[in-house]
Structure 1
């Protein structure tokens, strides 16, 4: 147990008991407990780099708490427990719980998933992420890029992750005028070389 993470488990939340059980399971699997993104993250050595790699983390929301497997897309999911949070999440998968009993009844399955995730890291496996050009580009943004070569050049200079962030952000609204509004608000940031959340 890492004392830096204790505050997360000591907080009086609706998931306190559930978090404690998930922590116990993760530690019983021989993972190293760290604090990342303000939540407990469990790591194991990567066969690719030899450094500690993120395997699974514990987090909670209003309706559920969850184990999030960083490379869950590579797991076999023999029990059908893994959930893709949104269609845009490529690698991570969650196992969600709404009460402690669910965790206790899936205890051995959870360990199986964690051990498989550790093996994925040992083998140095990577999730094949979609390339930026595989993401759909809204017609409204295509028009902006065609009409303004300097905007196209600035967009192409962005990192692939920043490009994907914008494409997803521009694609979300159903109405064209909302898409256009998002694009126009983002143009100064694109010219500054910034991503959506920089």
Structure 2
């Protein structure tokens, strides 16, 4: 997949052509449909995300969107980000030689069956986050910005709050606030460009 901001895919694609081809061969044998989401190819069944794969600097990864339900008989799946990820599981390969097409096929077919069976983790509805710190101060100092922020959906507000809160340094928070001000004024969400 290609990161539209950095173009990193072209940098790593050459390293993973064989791995990509092996996984693609399995996917091509199935009912999966390739769609373009979040800057890359996602394979779906009945409009439900099933899997994605891509090469990185040090590994090639195959993600299963509801991988938490997979039986994982070979104990190869990992949760790449336990703080944020509930259902997504990843299978990492350090070389194309590690890819056993038959084992991959087992996992892919089971992942499709999970969708057919309606197995999925529903997104959690979370309480709106409280605006605090420098973002609160900025909003309080600019009535138009405050009004625009309050007209955003709770989900969009949460995205902005988390984006600012994730920054460790004050100068990073300030620079992020300057970046998002025009987006807030236009009524856009932080991640709108990735949505259809």
TM-score (norm 2): 0.69
Does residue 42 (structure 1) correspond to residue 36 (structure 2)? The answer is no
* Counterparts of 1:174 and 1:135, CA distance in 2: 18
Q: CA deviation at 1:171?
A: 1.9
Q: Structure 1 pair 77/166, CA: closer, same or farther in 2 (3 Å)?
A: farther
* Counterparts of 2:72 and 2:141, CA distance in 1: 47
Q: Which moved more, 1:133-142 or 1:18-27?
A: 133-142
Show the 5 A alignment for 1:111-190: 111-131=105-125, 133=127, 138-145=132-139, 150-190=144-184
* Counterparts of 2:79 and 2:113, CA distance in 1: 20
Q: Which moved more, 1:117-126 or 1:71-80?
A: 71-80
Q: CA deviation at 1:80?
A: 4.5
Q: Is the 8 A contact 1:135 1:164 kept in 2?
A: yes
Q: Is the 8 A contact 2:54 2:60 kept in 1?
A: yes
Aligned to 1:62: 57
Q: CA deviation at 1:193?
A: 0.5
Q: Structure 1 pair 83/157, CA: closer, same or farther in 2 (3 Å)?
A: same
Q: Which moved more, 1:52-61 or 1:155-164?
A: 155-164
Show the 5 A alignment for 1:78-89: 79-84=75-80, 87-89=83-85
* Counterparts of 1:129 and 1:61, CA distance in 2: 28
For structure 2, the residue ranges without an aligned partner over 5 or more in a row are 1-8
Q: CA deviation at 1:98?
A: 1.6
Aligned to 2:28: 27
* Counterparts of 1:135 and 1:101, CA distance in 2: 46
Q: Is the 8 A contact 2:64 2:90 kept in 1?
A: yes
* Counterparts of 1:86 and 1:154, CA distance in 2: 33
Q: Which moved more, 1:142-151 or 1:118-127?
A: 142-151
Q: Structure 1 pair 127/173, CA: closer, same or farther in 2 (3 Å)?
A: same
Q: Is the 8 A contact 1:33 1:40 kept in 2?
A: no
TM-score (norm 1): 0.68
Q: Is the 8 A contact 1:85 1:93 kept in 2?
A: no
Q: Is the 8 A contact 2:76 2:91 kept in 1?
A: no
Q: Which secondary structure does the structure 2 equivalent of 1:194 belong to?
A: coil
Q: CA deviation at 1:99?
A: 0.6
Q: Is the 8 A contact 1:132 1:164 kept in 2?
A: no
Q: CA deviation at 1:170?
A: 0.7
